[in-house]
Amino acid sequence: MSTRIPLTIEGNLTGDPEHGTSDAGTEYARFTVAVNDRRRNETTGQWEDAGTIYHRVVVFNQQARNVVASLRKGDQAIVNGELRFSTFEDQDTGKTRESRDVVADTVGASLKFASVAIQHVPKANGPEASRYATGPVAEPAATGVGIAR
């Protein structure tokens, strides 16, 4: 049985996103987000770091390509998705281990300390696709010819 745990995190990328393709042909990007917990010390009145939690994130398809093209190590990002748990066998010890990953539905740059320029990428079959499409164009062999059905 699987438990769906939705979450939103905001933090800094610890490295550049890694891009790849699965055996089934699905594109993905993997990256790690460091979330720093800051708390105000009631005694001193100062803000203090209370620890860092690292979240491994995976995102798929067009969004994976956009993440790789847009985000770099140190960039602050907001990730919305779900937490997934899995088990695997450690190759060194043979013991069963657990892992935790965020499967992202949405990834964006945080605008808290940065600005961005949006470049829209149309859907491949959307109404604007022909305006942005590149590559060969097929022309009909004949025009004005009636089609019998």
According to the model, what pLDDT value does residue 61 have?
93
CA distance 123 to 149: 33
Least confident of 34-43, 86-95, 100-109, 119-128: 119-128
Q: How far apart are CA 56 and CA 30, in angstroms?
A: 7
17, 57 in Cβ contact below 8 A?
no
**Of 4 and 3, which is predicted with more confidence?**
4
Indicate the fold that domain 5-38+47-120 takes in CATH: OB fold (Dihydrolipoamide Acetyltransferase, E2P) (2.40.50)
Q: Give CA separation, 30 vs 52, 63, 86, 146, in Å.
A: 19, 11, 16, 53
Residue with more model confidence, 50 or 28? 28
Question: Does 132 have pLDDT greater than 80?
Answer: no
| Residue 32 confidence class, pLDDT cut points 50, 70, 90 | very high
